[in-house]
Amino acid sequence: MTEMTRTLTALCAALLLPILPASAQTAELISIRSLDQIQGLANTLGIPDGVLPLDFDVAKYRVTYPMDYIGSTYDVTGAVYIPVDGEGNALACALPTHTYMHGTIFVRSDAPSYQGFEGELGYLMATGGMLTLMPDYLGLGGSEDVLHPYVHAASEAESGMALLAAAEALGDDLGFSLNGEHFVSGYSQGGHAAMAMAKRMQEDEGAGFPLAAAAPMSGPYDMSGTQLPMGMAQEQYSNPAYLAYILLAWQQTYGNIFVELSEIFQEPFASGLPGMFDGETTGEVINDFLAGPTEDIIQAGALEAMMDESSAFFAAAQDNDLYQWVPESPVQMYYCTLDEQVFHENALLTDSWMNDNGAASVTSVNGGPLNHGGCALLAILGGTVWLNGQANLCTPSSVQPERRSRGLTWHPTHTGVMVEGLEPGQHWTLFAMDGRLIDRGVSKSDRLGLQVEAGLSMLVAEDGRFVRMLRH
C-alpha cells in the first residue's frame, strides 16, 4: 500500500465515522431582527422598496436534527427563520414554508446557521410571512465528522426534507403552525439541491410535504452531459477546486471512483488535496493551489477516462443528473448567459426536456449577460418574488389566515405589455430586476399599457401588489 493510499484510506475512514442518532431535533435562538434592521439590510443590498414584502420582525434559530446518509444517521444543522410580531411571538396565522438551498462553500462556519452571507437572506425571505429554512448540509455548519457530499442529489434532498420535518415537529414549541404550502429555491450548488428536493417532494408523497413550486437558480442539473464535459473542456477552469470536491465527495459516497487520487491529479496536487478539504480551508486557497493550465494539474488522459460511459465516475454523474423528470407543480429556473461556473446550458436543456415530456408549468428566466457572481442576487431576488407571489402569506394585521391580494396580471402586446388589476388613481412603479427605476405613474383605469425593454421587469403597486414580467 502506497503512502497516498494509506492517507486516503485513513481520511475516508475518519470521514465515515457515524454519529449516534439524535433522539429529537433541538432549536437554539440566534437572533431577532427588527423590521427596521431588515429594511436596512434590503437598503444595503440595493433592493428597491416594494419589491419584497417587509412586514414582520424575524427570529432566527439554529436547528440541530438527524438525517440519513449511506446507511448511517448524522446530526446536522440548519437555520430556521420565523416571522414574529414586535414582541417576538410567532404569528397566529399558519405559514407557508420556503426552503432555500445555499451555494458551494468549503468552510463549515460559512453555512447559513453560522456566519454565511446567504444566511442574511433568510431574514428577507421570512419577513413577508414565510417560514424560511436553510439547511447547512451534511458535513457543514455544525456537522464535523464527515466530508460534505458535494453535488450529491440524494443527500441534498434529504438535508432539506429532514429539516422540514424537524421544523414541523418544533412548531408547537416555537409557537407557529404550517398551512401546507411548501416552496423550495436555491442558487448554484443550491440550484442543484433545490431541484433534487423538488423532485423528492413530488415523488415522496408519504413525507407529507407536497411541492407548491420551485425556483432552482443557476444549478448544474445535467452533470453528465453538460456541466462536467464543458468544465473539463476548458484549458483552465475558473474553479478547479470544484472538480476536486466532486471527486473526494463521490469517492466517499460511491466508493469506486478511484483507488488513488494520483490516478487523476499530478503531484503535488494528489498528495496535497485531501487535507485541504478539512472544513477550514477556503475555496480560494484550494483554487490557488490548483491554479494553472489543466494539463499541468490533471494526469494525461484522466479526464477522458473519467467521462467514458463505462466508468464509475460517469455513472455517478448520471446518478446526480436532475433534468429527466416531469414536474407536476410550477418550476421556474433562472440563469445568466456569461456564467463561467455553472453553464447556462444546464437550464436550457432542463427546460427543453421537461416541456417536451409534458411538464405542466416549467419556465426559465434569462437574467442576461452576467457572470456567476453577478447573477446571484438578481436570480435569488427574482425567485423569492416569484414564490411570494404564489404563497398564502399572512398580512401584518391578520389574526386568521388571509390570502394577500395577487390580482395583478400581465400579457404581452405588439408594443410592450398590458398590466391589469390596478385601481384607478393608484400609483405604480416599474423596476428592472437589477433594481433600476424604469418608470412610475398613476393608473387611469384598471388596465395599464407599458413599453418595456426586453428582459425581466417588475411593476409594483402602492398597495404592495406586484407582477413580474418577461419580454423577449
Is residue 231 included in any domain, yes or no?
Answer: no
| CA 253 to the chain's CA centroid | 22
Alpha-carbon separation of residue 80 from 114, 123, 162, 390 (angstroms): 12, 10, 13, 21
pLDDT at 134 over 70: yes
Distance CA 258, CA 312 (A): 8
pLDDT at 375 over 50: yes
All cell numbers assigned to 419: 398590466
Please give the angle made by the CA atoms of 441, 445 and 449, to the nearest 5 degrees.
60
pLDDT at 255 over 50: yes
Distance CA 119, CA 295 (A): 38
Q: According to the model, what pLDDT value does residue 5 have?
A: 35
Is residue 5 included in any domain, yes or no?
Answer: no
What is the CB neighbour count within 10 angstroms for residue 308? 11
Task: Provide the domain limits for residue 446.
Answer: 409-461
Q: According to the model, what pLDDT value does residue 326 have?
A: 98
The β-bridge relationship of strands 178-187 and 95-101 is parallel
Distance CA 463, CA 305 (A): 59
Query: Rounded mean pLDDT of 404-418?
Result: 72
| CA 248 to the chain's CA centroid | 22
Residue 301 maps to which CATH number?
1.10.260
Cβ pair 47, 21 in contact under 8 A: no
Claim to verify: residue 363 and residue 439 sit in the same structural domain: no
Distance CA 389, CA 82 (A): 19
Claim to verify: residue 332 and residue 421 sit in the same structural domain: no
pLDDT in tens, 70-101: 999 999 999 999 999 988 999 999 999 999 99
Claim to verify: residue 198 and residue 119 sit in the same structural domain: yes
Is residue 393 included in any domain, yes or no?
Answer: no
Claim to verify: residue 428 and residue 294 sit in the same structural domain: no
Is residue 11 included in any domain, yes or no?
Answer: no
Claim to verify: residue 218 and residue 282 sit in the same structural domain: no
Q: What is the mean pLDDT of the chain?
A: 89
Taking phi over 0 as left and psi of -120 to 50 as alpha, with beta for the rest, 52 belongs to: beta
Sequence-separated (6 or more) residues with CB below 8 Å from residue 252? 12, 15, 16, 146, 147, 149
Is residue 10 included in any domain, yes or no?
Answer: no
Claim to verify: residue 278 and residue 344 sit in the same structural domain: no
Last residue of a domain, one of 319, 345, 371: 319
Query: Rounded mean pLDDT of 349-362?
Result: 96
Band the pLDDT of 407: cuts 50, 70, 90: low
Q: According to the model, what pLDDT value does residue 237 have?
A: 77
Residue with cell 436532475: 322
Is residue 232 included in any domain, yes or no?
Answer: no
- Closest by CA to 259, choosing from 1, 2, 5, 3, is 5
Claim to verify: residue 331 and residue 442 sit in the same structural domain: no
Last residue of a domain, one of 302, 319, 336: 319
Claim to verify: residue 27 and residue 175 sit in the same structural domain: yes
- Domain total of the chain: 3
Is residue 75 included in any domain, yes or no?
Answer: yes
Claim to verify: residue 130 and residue 24 sit in the same structural domain: yes
Band the pLDDT of 400: cuts 50, 70, 90: very low
Claim to verify: residue 303 and residue 247 sit in the same structural domain: yes
Claim to verify: residue 192 and residue 159 sit in the same structural domain: yes
All cell numbers assigned to 280: 477550514
Is residue 442 included in any domain, yes or no?
Answer: yes
| CA 388 to the chain's CA centroid | 16
Last residue of a domain, one of 287, 319, 351: 319
Cβ pair 184, 194 in contact under 8 A: yes
Query: Rounded mean pLDDT of 386-409?
Result: 67
Q: According to the model, what pLDDT value does residue 406 have?
A: 47
CA Rg value for the chain: 23
Q: According to the model, what pLDDT value does residue 2 have?
A: 40
All cell numbers assigned to 433: 430586476
Claim to verify: residue 73 and residue 162 sit in the same structural domain: yes
